[in-house]
Each structure stands twice: as structure tokens, then as C-alpha cells.
Amino acid sequence: MINLKLSLSKAEQWVSQNEIDALFPSVRLASKKVYEKSGAGNGFLGWVDLPCTISEELLARLETDAAKIINQSDIVVVCGIGGSYLGARAVIDALSNPFGALLDKKTRKAPIVVYAGHHLNAEYHAKLLQLLDTVNYSLIVISKSGTTTEPAVAFRLLKKHIEKKYGTTQAAERIYAITDASKGALKKLATANGYTTYVIPDDVGGRYSVLTPVGLLPIAASGLNIRELVAGASRMEEFLKNYENPAENPAAMYAIARNILYHKGKTTEILAGYNPSISFLIEWWKQLYGESEGKDQKGIFPAGVNFTTDLHSLGQYIQEGLRNIFETVLTTANQDQNLTIPHSKDDLDGLNYIAGQEIASVNQKAKIGTMLAHVDGGVPNLEITIPELNEGNLGELIYFFEMGCALSGYLLGVNPFDQPGVEAYKVNMFALLQKPGFEKETEQILKRL
Ligand code: PA5
């Protein structure tokens, strides 16, 4: 059985049982395309049976390398972008102490994870290199293509830094490269320099790759339990596979509800959390759904909010702005629920009426109140609940979202596994940088400036 629950009860006004039933044949077909690998983008369905087929050998190797990284590093730098970055960060941020970086390593028990190559900001990378002068670190560089500009630029800087700091031989022992099996510049570089390497399977695209070494090595190096993460994802894989009836299959029901809402003009979905630790889980979800569905002039725009923080900023828009939105509330129960609101003798702030109550329970009331207010304001609310934020439940959630995304994409009639639109900015950037091979584009773009 799975722990994750999906509720459509606060979207009933917009999503009727008849409309749901009418989509059952289409979602069954979408599901068939996923499992039989017969739909668009079928070369990228390796993620479907990934959790249940991860080998003991790979898990053990990841754990051994992670233990080495933990042992020799105060910091581990994870260099990658998009699907080669967001999944690891989503899990690490969700499950790590938000103030862990301020604790000493003995208390923390694992290195602090910092990120590079996920943008091109010079100041950020300069400050990172300054920090790395003062600490022991290891480097995990991740790029499936091995040619993505942002991580390639950052890796040049980091390679130079780590080799200067430790010497070429020792540096090579601190660098872990995760890339394509055979092609790409990173593969060549890793082979030439003798780095430890891991392979990203050919049939797993970037945004579906968190349960490959792309996510698993950084997650293990941050001290988290990757076996439980994989076990949770396997639980969801098995469950969804066995529940062919869409009514009992939460990924199918999520895809159906999204599709009905989209066709009623609800073209923006806001994933809302009530726990700041899941901010990057929301970022990961945004990439998964945005890159998978936003094409052919179609697709739900994925947005994210952190409540109650954003109730004091975007809350106004959600309550009363353009009615083209729906929300999916991601509820994660707190593990430490024993923090209660203190009693005050003078009650100057007027809070004694909730003195003695757990903060988690106040947060819960804020959530229910907000959901009802937003529904009253014309915003359908879906709710996904996991009972506790831990590796196993996150594994379930990740696989649920991946399957929900694939089914949604097929229901929408797009290929959920490509991202042709990502190339447009690259072509312009290469033209402006006068990359060899882009001479014609350079000539054309310069005329536009
Ligand atoms: O999901 C995707 O495919 C993209 O977001 C890629 O992960 C991202 O562009 C990074 O690509 P690469 O791993 O080839 O450097």
C-alpha cells in the first residue's frame, strides 16, 4: 500500500463525476502508451520501471562513494542544471535541517551541499570559489549531454580550483562525473582524467532522472537514505501498475482532474506547500510539468507558492485575480509537532486564545481556511497528502508526479519527454558568443541588435 493520498473534493464544483468518467478511456490509452512504450517520446520511458529495477550493485556503489565524499569533505559541490540539478536539491532541501550549514560537521554528520552551474552569474561563482579556498570539498558534476553551457563553464572554474588546491591526482579522486555512457565532452574529460563516473541511462530524460545517480549520488552524499527513497518510489511504481482502474489510481486521477480544469480555462496550476523545506520540490515539479507539457502552443503553466508566506504576497491575486488558476496543495505532516504557543500573562498580543496549541495545528487551520477561501473565490483546489516528510514518502511522491506528468502529457496530446523549445535561447546565445558553427546565426542576430 502507498501512503500518498489525492483528494479532489475541493474541486467538485468544477470537476464532475461524469467528466471524470468520460476521460477514463483516454487515460487508459495514455497508460497503455506509457507501459507498452508505444507513445510519443517512447525512447525516454526508462524511468517507468527504474525504481523496481535499480540493482543492489549500483546502490552499494553509490553508498560507498557517498561515504567517501562524506568522510573527506566539509562541502560537496553539485554542478548541474535543470534535470541534472533540481531533483537532488528537491530531496536534499526537503529532508535536511534548514540551519544545517550553521552546525559543526560532527553534529551535522554530512557535508553541506552547495550548487554550481545552475546559472551563469559571475558573482555567485566567484564567491563560491572563495569559500572553497577555505574548506575541504568534493565535486559532483552532472550533465547528460555533457555539453550544457552553464555547468560546463562552472566545471572549468571548479576543475581549475580543485586541481590547484589538491594537485591533479588527488583532485581526480574528489571528482565524480555523472553523464552519458559514451558520448559528450564530460565523458571524454572524465575518462581522460580518471574521475569516478556514473552513467545516466539513455532512455531517461533529465527531468525524470532523480532516481538515477543524477539524484542518488548527491542525495546519498548529503547523508540521506537512498534505499528508502528508492523503496518508496518502488512502492508507488508497483501500486500504480497494479491499479489499472483510473478511479483507484491517484496518478491517473490527478492527470484527469488537471485535464478537465485546463479545458475549462484553468490554464495555470499553482503547487502550494505549507513547509518552506519543500520550496525546491515545487521547483522540481515546475520543471517536470513545464518542460513536459508546455509545447505546441498548449499546456498548463506550472507555478508555485510557499504558504503561509506567500499568502501575504500572491494570496491577493489567488483570491481575487484572473480566474484562470487552480491550486494543488501539497500537504506534508510535520515530524516535530511538539512546538506549542506559549501562554503570556499580559496577553498584549491577544494570542492567549491559541496558547498551548501546536504551531503545526495552527498551520493546519491556516491551510484549511485558505483552501476554503480560495474555493469560494473560484479557485479549484486539489490536495496531495503525504503523512510525513521522509525518504520513503518522497520516493512515492516523485514517482507519482512523474507518472501523473506522463499521463497528463498524453491526455493533452503532446510528447511529454522532449523539450525542443529549450534550444531557442541556446542558439541565440551561441550566435552572440560567436560559437564556431553558428556563423550564419551570428550574422543574423547582430543585425537585430
Ligand atoms: O530535463 C531536461 O532534459 C533538461 O532540463 C536537462 O536536464 C538540462 O538542460 C541539463 O542537461 P544536461 O544534463 O545535458 O546538462
Distance 14 CA to ligand 1 centre (A): 36
Q: Is the CB of 144 under 6 A from ligand 1?
A: yes
Q: How far from 135 is each of 33, 75, 92, 105, CA to CA, in Å?
A: 49, 7, 21, 12
Task: Report the pLDDT value the prediction gives residue 277, as an integer from 0 to 100.
Answer: 95
Alpha-carbon distance of 324 to 203, in angstroms, equals 35
- Could you give phi then psi for residue 359, rounded to 5 degrees? -60, -35
Q: Is the CB of 286 under 6 A from ligand 1?
A: no
In this structure, what C-alpha cell is assigned to residue 224? 540521506
Task: Report the pLDDT value the prediction gives residue 333, as an integer from 0 to 100.
Answer: 80
Among protein residues, the one with the nearest Cα to ligand 1's atom 9 is 82
Q: Is the CB of 118 under 6 A from ligand 1?
A: no
Q: Which long-range contacts (CB under 8 A, 24 or more apart) does 154-160 make?
A: 154/79, 154/116, 154/117, 154/125, 155/79, 155/116, 155/117, 155/186, 157/116, 157/125, 157/129, 158/77, 158/79, 158/116, 158/129, 158/132
Task: Report the pLDDT value the prediction gives residue 406, as an integer from 0 to 100.
Answer: 98
- What is the SS3 assignment for 82? helix
- What is the SS3 assignment for 194? coil
Alpha-carbon distance of 3 to 394, in angstroms, equals 10
pLDDT in tens, the chain (449 residues): 999 999 999 999 999 999 999 999 999 999 999 999 999 999 999 999 999 999 999 999 999 999 999 999 999 999 999 999 999 999 999 999 999 889 988 888 899 999 999 999 999 999 999 999 999 999 999 999 888 999 999 999 999 999 999 999 999 999 999 999 888 789 999 999 999 999 999 999 999 999 999 999 999 999 999 999 999 999 999 999 998 789 999 999 999 999 999 999 999 999 999 999 999 999 999 999 999 999 999 999 999 999 999 999 999 999 999 999 999 999 998 666 689 999 999 999 999 999 999 999 999 999 999 999 999 999 999 999 999 999 999 999 999 999 999 999 999 999 999 998 988 899 999 999 999 999 999 999 999 99
The predicted model scores a pTM of 0.96
Distance 291 CA to ligand 1 centre (A): 10
In the chain, CATH 3.40.50.10490 covers 5-39+229-414, 50-224
Q: Which fold has domain 5-39+229-414?
A: Rossmann fold (3.40.50)
Task: Report the pLDDT value the prediction gives residue 202, as an integer from 0 to 100.
Answer: 93
Query: What amino acid positions are annotated as catalytic residues?
Result: 291, 312, 426
Q: Which atom of ligand 1 is nearest to the CA of 422?
A: 9
Place of cell 532523480: 210
For ligand 1, mutation pick of 85, 142, 144, 287 (most atoms within 8 Å of CB)? 144
Q: Which fold has domain 50-224?
A: Rossmann fold (3.40.50)
Place of cell 487551520: 365
Nearest to 80 by CA among 241, 277, 218: 218
Q: Is the CB of 209 under 6 A from ligand 1?
A: no
Q: Is the CB of 143 under 6 A from ligand 1?
A: yes
Whether residue 339 contacts residue 397, with contact meaning beta carbons closer than 8 Å, is answered with no
- What is the SS3 assignment for 78? strand
Distance 119 CA to ligand 1 centre (A): 13
